Amino acid sequence: MKYAAEFVDPFDEHHRRNIAQTITHRFLKRWIPASGRLLEIGCGNGRLLYLARKDGWDVRGLEISPFLADSVRARLGIEVAVADYLEYSPGNGEEFDLVLLRHVLEHLPEPKRAMTGIAALLGEGGHALLEFPNIDGLDSRFKRWLRGTGLYRKRYPGSWRPGHCNEYCRRSFEYLLRETGFELVVWETYSYRPFSNFVFNHWHMGNKARAIVRKL
């Protein structure tokens, strides 16, 4: 996996991957008080776990890359299990108050199973924070229009394989939540460009979405 080939120092405030996680952390602090047990699925370099731990969360990570898991343990001293979360069973029946899943859901071929897996990790009334592409974003809609008119055709190399199994807008995501025992608490779209981010936070036209959901 390309993303697992490099370990970015989680203390580097200026690396773009860390900046993205810092922004997610600010969103988390705004909506959910820091208390309880937190699990991040696909924790990468552990930057978000590190920030949450500073706020008082009892943090754990889950990562399919042994290299990244070992790197987080060594650099941050945070417990990270190497596992596919759909097959993962926490020890002693432990449950989490918050599960984080950043840009993972769209890569999973069975979304109902994916959300059911998150529900199994959460205690009653627990929350999950998810980030994924928003196919109702302004740019995505414009590109679909261009393809429909024949004015735009993207060329792919013969070796190209699609990375996204499913993609979501707010309506389809809420349908998935209803089918798997969740309710939507917060929905926003965002950009990494400051002005665009301000606009997309208030008018939900961004190509990336983040949501907080509650287990019913």
Q: How far apart are the first and last CA of the chain?
A: 35
Structure tokens of 210? 């983040």
At 69 the pLDDT is 96
| Buried residues in 119-149 as b, exposed as e (16+ CB within 10 A) | bebbeeebbbbbbbbbbbbbebeeeeeeeee
Between CA 139 and CA 142 the distance in angstroms is: 5
- For residue 108, pLDDT over 80 is answered with yes
At 165 the pLDDT is 84
DSSP 56-116: T-EEEEEES-HHHHHHHHHHH---EEES-GGG---GGG--EEEEEEES-GGG-S-HHHHHH
pTM for the predicted model, two decimal places? 0.89
Give the Cα-Cα-Cα angle 109, 41, 128 (nearest 5 degrees): 90
Between CA 22 and CA 13 the distance in angstroms is: 9
At 191 the pLDDT is 83
φ, ψ (nearest 5 deg) of residue 100: -110, 135
pLDDT for 119-171, tens place per residue? Answer: 999 999 999 999 999 999 887 777 777 777 877 777 767 775 667 789 999 99
Strands 96-102 and 122-133 turn out to be parallel
Domains in the chain with CATH codes: 2-215 (3.40.50.150)
Candidate from 10-19, 60-69, 80-89, 107-116 with smallest mean pLDDT: 80-89
At 203 the pLDDT is 76
Contact 38, 100 (CB under 8 A): yes
Q: Where are the beta strands (DSSP E) in the chain?
A: 37-41, 58-63, 80-82, 96-102, 122-133, 182-190, 208-215
- For residue 118, pLDDT over 90 is answered with yes
